Amino acid sequence: MLKIENLHASIEDKEILKGINLEIKAGEVHAIMGPNGSGKSTLSAVIAGNETYTVTEGSVSLDGEDLADLAPEERAHKGVFLSFQYPVEIPGVSVTNFMKTAINENRKANGKEDMPANEMLKLIREKSELLEIDRKFLSRSLNEGFSGGEKKRNEIFQMAMLEPKIAILDETDSGLDIDALRIVANGVNKLKNENNAVLVITHYQRLLDYIIPDFVHVLYNGKIVKSGGKELAHELEERGYDWIKAEN
């Protein structure tokens, strides 16, 4: 489904990603772990099409289609979703209206009519219950004054609404208490099926107790230096990252 080949990316002439190879098939959960500054967030931003970064070599493709020339919104229309590590506050735009706009723009891009209002309301109700989101919360300005946990829950709520093919969760566990972590993970697990895939990017193993990965990759210094099953995450939890650094 998602194929990353020899991906090099830089920001202001500083190379961050130095040749990443990764293939994620439908129905799989992959985790990318790594110490701070290894390029984890850059990788997620590059997949989503953030224009701050320049891809200097290699490619990212979705279902065989090269994403290189596609704007972030076009990638979203094709099924790429990025849950932000730091969701952006947008005062003046309510969660509901933001979601309506996003849903209908996605439908428009895929040749569909706007979603009827009653259907939209039903969907919003259903998905907000999944994430245990209070109804009052939906009329508030997007992320404005939300706690860390509320912001992350809101990200997964949006993911639930948009039903992407590939969801990238960038440090979704940071800023979450244990209850919020459980709610978020539960939401992700319920949305998971054999036709979509999840890429979890995290510094800690904690989230992976709830969202069980099929594969774990270690990113260090802009490269994937080690891959394995879920046991690799436990090993990293116990031994830290120093031995990885020492080996590379």
Partner 1 sequence: MELKEKLISSFMAFEERVDVNDSLHDIRINAMKNFENNGFPTKKEEAWKYTSLNSVLKNDFSVFPKNENSIQYSDVKKYYLHEIDTYKVVFVDGVFSSFLSSTTHDGIDVCLMASALTKPKYKMIIDTYFNQIAQKDDSLTSLNTAFAMEGAYINIPKNKVADKPIEIINFSTGTEAALLVQPRNLIIVGENSHVQIIERHQSLNSNPVLTNSVTEIFAAKRAIVDYYKIQNDTIEASLVDNTYIAQKQQSNVSVHTFSFGGNITRNNLNFYHQGEHIESTLKGITIIEGKQHVDHHTLVQHATPNCESHQNYKTILGDRSTGVFNGKIFVEKEAQKTDAFQQNNNILLSDKATINAKPQLEIFADDVKCSHGCTIGQLDETAMFYMQSRGIPKKEAKALLMYAFSNDVIQSIKIPELKARITKIIANKLGVNMGFDL
How far apart are alpha carbons 167 and 97 in whole angstroms?
22
Q: Is 64 in the site for partner 1 (CB under 8 A)?
A: no
**Among 64, 54, 71, CA closest to 7:** 54
Contact 204, 181 (CB under 8 A): no
> Which C-beta is closer to partner 1: that of 101 or that of 147?
101
- Which residue in 7, 43, 46, 76 binds partner 1 (CB under 8 A)? 76
> Which C-beta is closer to partner 1: that of 93 or that of 225?
93
Q: Quickly list H helices, the chain.
A: 40-48, 72-77, 95-109, 117-130, 148-162, 178-191, 231-239, 242-247
> Which C-beta is closer to partner 1: that of 47 or that of 232?
47
> Which C-beta is closer to partner 1: that of 80 or that of 216?
80
Q: Is 102 in the site for partner 1 (CB under 8 A)?
A: yes
Burial label, 174 (beta-carbon count in 10 A; 0-12, 13-18, 19+): middle
Q: Among the candidate windows 94-102, 116-124, 217-225, 234-242, which touches partner 1 by CB under 8 A?
A: 94-102
Q: Is 77 in the site for partner 1 (CB under 8 A)?
A: yes
Q: Is 67 in the site for partner 1 (CB under 8 A)?
A: no
How far apart are alpha carbons 190 and 155 in whole angstroms?
15
How far apart are alpha carbons 181 and 96 in whole angstroms?
23
Phi and psi for 52 in degrees, rounded to 5? -65, -25
* Least gap, CB of 35 to partner 1 (angstroms): 24
- Which residue in 59, 101, 147, 193 binds partner 1 (CB under 8 A)? 101
Residues 32-51 contacting partner 1, CB under 8 A: 48-51
Binding site for partner 1 (CB under 8 A): 48-52, 71-73, 75-77, 80-82, 84, 87-88, 90-94, 97-98, 100-102, 104-106, 109, 114, 158, 162
